[in-house]
Structure 1
Amino acid sequence: MEETVTTAARDHAVVYAPQIQELLARKEKVFRIDATTVGVSDVQLIAAVVAARPVLAPERSVFKPAAGADIDHDSATRTIRALGQDVTTALQAPAPPAHRLSGPWPDAATAYLRQWLFSSDPLPVSLLSKRGVTRSDTLSRIADRAVTAWPGADGGGTALARQIRTAPSVQDKRQAVALYRRASATLSDGVAALATNALWLMNRADAEEVARCGRTAVLWETLRLLPPAWMLFRTGGDAYAGLHPAIGPQDDIALFPLLMHRDPEYWTDPLVFRPQRWSGVDEPERTPGFMPFGFDGARCWARHMVVPLAERLLDVALEQGIAIRGAQRGTHVPLRSLLSVRFEAGAAL
């Protein structure tokens, strides 16, 4: 299926992977995906599912068990604070040369962010943030062992790396290594996906309207229309069985912000890219029918970093003339954990 997203200037197509196409074609807000999984896009039911019980450790992305043990609350909190400090430091420092943003997006944007945020870390810690390493289970294990044995010299580097060096035991160090790798990847990949989707939508929208609304409004509208975190998964259990007749105690549940954000009950012209709908909205996350980072009690740990970092990334790219190459009027969205369009970008000649 080809979905045409309408802007004030002209239309352009976003072609999704077949599995996502099937979801977008559904009219029901509660539906069975397979024998053991129920899909939900109903706003009230999603809220009820999230409130029914706390998120289980294996359901988390960054803070799922590592090195054979759960990540405790204090470790998670220290990791969030360290990463927030590193993002603040990066936003206050000059950005790397923009020519590194040329190439296939979101990959070029991901590599750029990892370089920007974590290049100050010494070997072998810096290997943990390299895409070539994190994409390989074998290389990841080798890097993890190397960093556990030798986390680099004292002083300098990121606050996230210092979590590894100051870990009091081998077990704590192993968990700190895993958290560094997961946190650096999750933040970089998520921000890159958001900025990539925004650059595509901005490129096809009315330039004056985009300038009038500002980058922040563009990003909130991008999070509505093309949310990188397009699906949340919950393992089934008795807590969900009474919430809806279609949900049994053994059913896993897939929650779909991608569908909820297109619900005409909550959104006027849901397929129209309209950054102006966010003008004057002081707290976008409290908007009904909007779940870019999850509900209260289960919100993304890095949500306060994502939009400012994506905004800065867009500013760097646009100030240096990075734009979509050619007259590309359509783009494909593969089936991956983060929803992102794909295109080639480079500096304007």
Structure 2
Amino acid sequence: MFRVDATTVGVSDARLMAEIVAARPVLSTERSVYKPAAGADIPHDSATRTIRALGQDVMSGIRTPPPPARGLSGSWPYAPTSYLRRWLFGTDPLPVSLLAKRGITRSDTLSRLVDRAVTVWPGTETGGGSTALAGLIRGAADPLDRKQAIAMYRRASATLCDGVAALAGNALWLMRATGARQADLTAALWETLRLLPPAWMLYRNGGDAYAGLHPEIRPEDNVALLPLLMHRHPDYWSDPLDFRPERWTGVADPEKTAGFMPFGFDGARCWAKHLVVPLAERLLTVALDHGLTVRSPQQDAPVPLRSLLSVRFEASVGA
């Protein structure tokens, strides 16, 4: 445990992390996807429908031919983020498909305009090709339900595509930087989740529930849980700074490994954790089968301090 600033403490000890998570349920405002929308909390049944719909869309996308691989050339993770959105949600009719366009989501003004357009006219299903997430918008029972379905579509598609692109990019960077020629992409992805986890920090608002767990935690302190540091602790890992995918060989359930928290703790786990690794593996397979090459930088890569840990680099796809 260490102090980050006057009102924030950081925690990297596995036992203390578990105690903090168990001290109280996670708040809706602490979960980016399920935070309130349209002035109201997201009902549990609505959240469950969203998870199921997203799962259907991802499994359908994995089974369908991907877009042309040239879409993966350019700046990572931006190129694969746009690629995944086109792959998974490109069949949705206007204006719903605009909800998953990266150029739209980066502008608050354009996002509000598209949200209003979808609220008035969510489009019609053409030939059965639209996504299950889009179906939740069309099937909304009332204006509030539709506004929340729109928010969930935007959040779910963005969170999934951003996270998978970050994981795949981090894996490519580690495989290249270490000279690894990894046939088992699943093991490489689990090792990437250990060494460069996209979800590198979980944030909890302060309160009395945490004050008694450690003498340095005060009621007014917010808490940053740091899997990035825990995953590098020598008490849990041999050669903790080395990229060694073979450490996962024969591990039936990686999430039960001590000192490993790639998707959060019980009760607050990533809602799409069962989709992330299979989709990232499919994305990496497409990239490697088409000769994707990491062009720059050579040794060091920038990693902006943002909610997702993602290495920035340039890549190109072979002819």
Match of 1:49 among 20, 34, 37: 20
Displacement after TM superposition at 1:205 (Å): 3.0
Distance (whole Å) between structure 1 residues aligned to residue 317 and residue 149 of structure 2:
38
Match of 1:37 in 2: 8
The TM-score, its normalising length taken from structure 1, stands at 0.89
Q: Does residue 179 of the first structure (1) align with residue 159 of the second (2)?
A: no
Displacement after TM superposition at 1:284 (Å): 0.3
CA shift in 2, pair 1:333/1:169, >3 Å: same
Match of 2:190 in 1: 220
Distance (whole Å) between structure 2 residues aligned to residue 139 and residue 232 of structure 1:
29
Match of 2:139 in 1: 166
- Secondary structure, counterpart of 1:289 in structure 2: coil
**Counterpart residue identity of residue 159, structure 1:** A
Displacement after TM superposition at 1:297 (Å): 1.1
CA shift in 2, pair 1:326/1:244, >3 Å: closer
Displacement after TM superposition at 1:34 (Å): 1.3
- Secondary structure, counterpart of 2:301 in structure 1: strand
Trace 1:108-123 onto structure 2 (pairs within 5 A).
108-123=79-94
**Counterpart residue identity of residue 242, structure 1:** G
Distance (whole Å) between structure 2 residues aligned to residue 347 and residue 302 of structure 1:
28
Distance (whole Å) between structure 2 residues aligned to residue 114 and residue 154 of structure 1:
18
CA shift in 2, pair 1:327/1:138, >3 Å: closer
Distance (whole Å) between structure 1 residues aligned to residue 194 and residue 291 of structure 2:
26
Trace 1:303-314 onto structure 2 (pairs within 5 A).
303-314=273-284
Displacement after TM superposition at 1:318 (Å): 0.2
Match of 1:82 in 2: 53
**Counterpart residue identity of residue 188, structure 1:** C
**Counterpart residue identity of residue 272, structure 2:** A
Displacement after TM superposition at 1:165 (Å): 0.3
Q: Does residue 319 of the first structure (1) align with residue 289 of the second (2)?
A: yes
Match of 1:255 among 213, 217, 225: 225
**Counterpart residue identity of residue 252, structure 1:** N
Distance (whole Å) between structure 2 residues aligned to residue 282 and residue 302 of structure 1:
19
CA shift in 2, pair 1:199/1:124, >3 Å: same
Match of 1:234 among 194, 197, 204: 204
**Counterpart residue identity of residue 85, structure 1:** Q
Trace 1:78-227 onto structure 2 (pairs within 5 A).
78-154=49-125, 156=128, 157-208=130-181, 210-211=182-183, 214-227=184-197
- Secondary structure, counterpart of 2:287 in structure 1: helix
- Note the residue ranges of structure 2 that are not aligned, 5 or more in a row: none
The RMSD of aligned alpha carbons is 1.1
Displacement after TM superposition at 1:206 (Å): 3.9
Distance (whole Å) between structure 2 residues aligned to residue 330 and residue 259 of structure 1:
19
**Number of aligned residues:** 317
Percent identity for Structure 1 against Structure 2: 70
- Secondary structure, counterpart of 1:38 in structure 2: strand
Distance (whole Å) between structure 1 residues aligned to residue 215 and residue 143 of structure 2:
48
- Secondary structure, counterpart of 1:333 in structure 2: coil
- Note the residue ranges of structure 1 that are not aligned, 5 or more in a row: 1-29
Displacement after TM superposition at 1:326 (Å): 5.5
**Counterpart residue identity of residue 182, structure 1:** R
Deviations 1:257-311 (A, max 9, x none): 1011111111111110000000000000010000000011110000000000000
Distance (whole Å) between structure 2 residues aligned to residue 205 and residue 151 of structure 1:
47
Deviations 1:123-177 (A, max 9, x none): 0000100111111111111111110110001353000000000000000000000
Distance (whole Å) between structure 2 residues aligned to residue 154 and residue 344 of structure 1:
37
Displacement after TM superposition at 1:67 (Å): 0.5
